Protein backbone atom coordinates (compact mmCIF):
# COMPACT_ATOMS: atom_id res chain seq x y z
CA UNK A 1 0.00 0.00 0.00
CA UNK A 2 1.01 3.57 -0.58
CA UNK A 3 0.20 6.68 1.35
CA UNK A 4 -2.88 8.50 0.11
CA UNK A 5 -2.50 11.70 -1.89
CA UNK A 6 -4.05 14.71 -0.21
CA UNK A 7 -3.73 18.42 -0.94
CA UNK A 8 -1.39 20.50 1.18
CA UNK A 9 -2.81 21.85 4.41
CA UNK A 10 -3.50 25.58 4.47
CA UNK A 11 -0.48 27.65 5.47
CA UNK A 12 -1.53 29.82 8.43
CA UNK A 13 1.11 32.41 7.44
CA UNK A 14 -0.11 32.77 3.87
CA UNK A 15 -1.96 35.93 2.91
CA UNK A 16 -4.65 33.76 1.29
CA UNK A 17 -5.08 31.33 4.21
CA UNK A 18 -8.85 31.83 4.12
CA UNK A 19 -9.05 30.74 0.49
CA UNK A 20 -6.72 27.81 1.13
CA UNK A 21 -8.82 26.71 4.09
CA UNK A 22 -12.06 26.86 2.11
CA UNK A 23 -10.50 24.90 -0.76
CA UNK A 24 -9.19 22.24 1.62
CA UNK A 25 -12.55 21.95 3.38
CA UNK A 26 -14.26 21.71 0.01
CA UNK A 27 -11.93 18.88 -0.99
CA UNK A 28 -12.63 17.03 2.29
CA UNK A 29 -16.39 17.39 1.87
CA UNK A 30 -16.43 16.45 -1.83
CA UNK A 31 -16.00 12.72 -1.15
CA UNK A 32 -16.17 10.44 1.91
CA UNK A 33 -12.99 8.81 0.62
CA UNK A 34 -11.13 12.11 0.98
CA UNK A 35 -11.76 12.21 4.72
CA UNK A 36 -10.58 8.61 5.02
CA UNK A 37 -7.43 9.41 3.03
CA UNK A 38 -6.70 12.47 5.14
CA UNK A 39 -7.20 10.54 8.38
CA UNK A 40 -4.93 7.69 7.19
CA UNK A 41 -2.19 10.16 6.36
CA UNK A 42 -2.62 12.04 9.64
CA UNK A 43 -2.40 8.83 11.69
CA UNK A 44 0.62 7.65 9.70
CA UNK A 45 2.37 10.95 10.49
CA UNK A 46 1.64 10.56 14.23
CA UNK A 47 3.14 7.05 14.19
CA UNK A 48 6.20 8.19 12.22
CA UNK A 49 6.79 11.05 14.66
CA UNK A 50 6.68 8.62 17.58
CA UNK A 51 9.03 6.13 15.86
CA UNK A 52 11.47 8.95 15.06
CA UNK A 53 11.32 10.19 18.65
CA UNK A 54 12.11 6.70 19.98
CA UNK A 55 14.96 6.26 17.50
CA UNK A 56 16.46 9.62 18.50
CA UNK A 57 16.15 8.70 22.19
CA UNK A 58 17.93 5.38 21.53
CA UNK A 59 20.60 7.05 19.38
CA UNK A 60 19.79 5.14 16.21
CA UNK A 61 18.88 6.19 12.70
CA UNK A 62 15.29 6.27 11.58
CA UNK A 63 14.49 5.99 7.87
CA UNK A 64 11.01 6.04 6.38
CA UNK A 65 10.56 3.66 3.46
CA UNK A 66 9.49 4.85 -0.01
CA UNK A 67 5.92 3.78 0.51
CA UNK A 68 5.87 5.14 4.05
CA UNK A 69 4.18 2.08 5.50
CA UNK A 70 7.15 -0.02 6.62
The boundaries of the domain holding residue 28 are 17-58
Q: Is residue 11 in some structural domain? A: no
Measured CA to CA, the distance from residue 16 to residue 58 in angstroms comes to 42
Q: What is the mean pLDDT of the chain?
A: 91
5: CB partners within 8 A, 6+ apart: 37
- Report the alpha-carbon distance of residue 64 to residue 4 in Å, rounded: 15
Task: Quote the CA–CA distance of 38 and 53 in Å, as a whole number.
Answer: 23
Backbone phi, psi, residue 6, to 5° = -135, 155
Q: Is residue 65 part of a domain?
A: no
Report the pLDDT value the prediction gives residue 24, as an integer from 0 to 100: 97
Write out residues in the chain with pLDDT < 70, as ranges: 1, 66-70
| 4 assigned to some structural domain | no
Is 10 part of any domain? no
Q: What is the DSSP letter of 8?
A: P
Structure pTM? Answer: 0.78
On whether residue 12 sits in a domain, the answer given is: no
Amino acid sequence: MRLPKVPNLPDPRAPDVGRQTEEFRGWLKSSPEHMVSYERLRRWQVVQDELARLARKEGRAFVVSDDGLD
